[in-house]
Amino acid sequence: MPLVANSKLPTFERLRLEGETVVAREAALRQDIRELHIGLLNMMPDAALAATERQFFRLVGESNQIAQFYMHPFTLTELARGTEAQAYVGQYYESFDRIREQGLDALIITGANVTQPDLSLEPFWKPLIKVIDWAYENVASTLCSCLATHAVLQFRYGQKRKHMGFKRWGVYAHRVVDRKHPLVNDVNTRFDVPHSRFNDIARAQFEAARLRILVESEVAGVHLATSADGFRIVFFQGHPEYDTVSLLKEYKREVARFVRGARADYPPLVEHYFSLKLQAILEEHRERILAARARGEPVPDLPESLILPALDNTWHDTAEAVINNWIGKVYQVTNIDRRLPFQPGVDPDDPLGLGK
């Protein structure tokens, strides 16, 4: 069902040009279709701000429930931003005060860059808690991505993430371990999910918090879990929203950091993402960079024209199916008056009827 271009946010036009269904607000108002209002707390750094919008907007817009999706992006004023990004946020984003006043049916919270050894020392820590506490009482379901999952596990459940000593970076096979949960209904029982993180919340920690584990990987650990009621909070540890090229862009940034001396080692290849042919191309490129540096010559550009056509996406369809199930349950349990999150007769402590 369509995204509604309820603002002049450039992401709407970008998605329309990519073939997504986006309708003008004026046209949407003439249609007798239920609205769903979904917030996006975007905490990503400036360079990834718009891309993250597109990734999550796309997943929501591609779900096939009968609804019009009004997206409400906002961020935290405590996050430092450059002049251009601050102007972008000021022009296109809403304030949290307005979000609270108008209400939401559901909320998505992105990851963020961290600079401190403990999340509680980050400038976004207290304002993020404020948003999540409000959402827990006033929004039917909150979906937390990666860093947001780690933050909620720490402040609400007392489970701190642990540094792995390396970066879990790649596309990993996962398996559904709770096939009766509505969020994984009709989802492939085995599928891939991208991960990109230095820290991990282990299965034992999810279990200690009495959370419901739905999907995990033998290598990458727990990916999808929910709060005990099965719905109020949904946790992603991976990045199913990633575009096909997202990990390539990360790899390119890390190579650039090596070239300018910001990292001492040449970045390893992203695991299970590049084919054998692409690995050979990138290894050859690595040797050319090292040779150029040794001679004091300009380094060659990444041969993206050889790489981009050969990249495969093995996760998006399943990500879309999970989001579709999530949106479907939001649709079923929310009240048309968004200030009242649950329909009459829905137990807020067990909105999916899973049993306590």
Catalytic residues: 146, 239, 241
Q: Is 63 annotated as a binding-site member? A: no
167 appears as a binding residue in the annotation: yes
196 assigned to a ligand binding site = yes
Which residues, 6+ apart, have CB-to-CB distance to 164 below 8 Å? 198, 199, 200
CA atoms within 13 A on the CB side of 83: 0
Q: What is the 3-state secondary structure (H, E, C) of the chain?
A: CCEEECCCCHHHHHHHHCCCCEEEHHHHHCCCCCEEEEEEECCCCHHHHHHHHHHHHHHHHCCCCCCEEEEEEECCCCCCCCHHHHHHHHHHCECHHHHHHHCCCEEEECCCCCCCCCHHHCCCHHHHHHHHHHHHHHCCEEEEECHHHHHHHHHCCCCCCEEEEEEEEEEEEEEECCCCCHHHCCCCCEEEEEEEEEEECCHHHHHHCCCEEEEEECCCEEEEEECCCCCCEEEECCCCCCCCCHHHHHHHHHHHHHHCCCCCCCCCCCECCCCHHHHHHHHHHHHHHHHHHHHCCCCCCCCHHHHHHHCCCCCHHHHHHHHHHHHHHHHHHCCCCCCCCCCCCCCCCCCCCCCC
> Cβ atoms within 10 A of the Cβ of 8, count?
9
Residue list for the binding site for substrate: 167, 196, 253
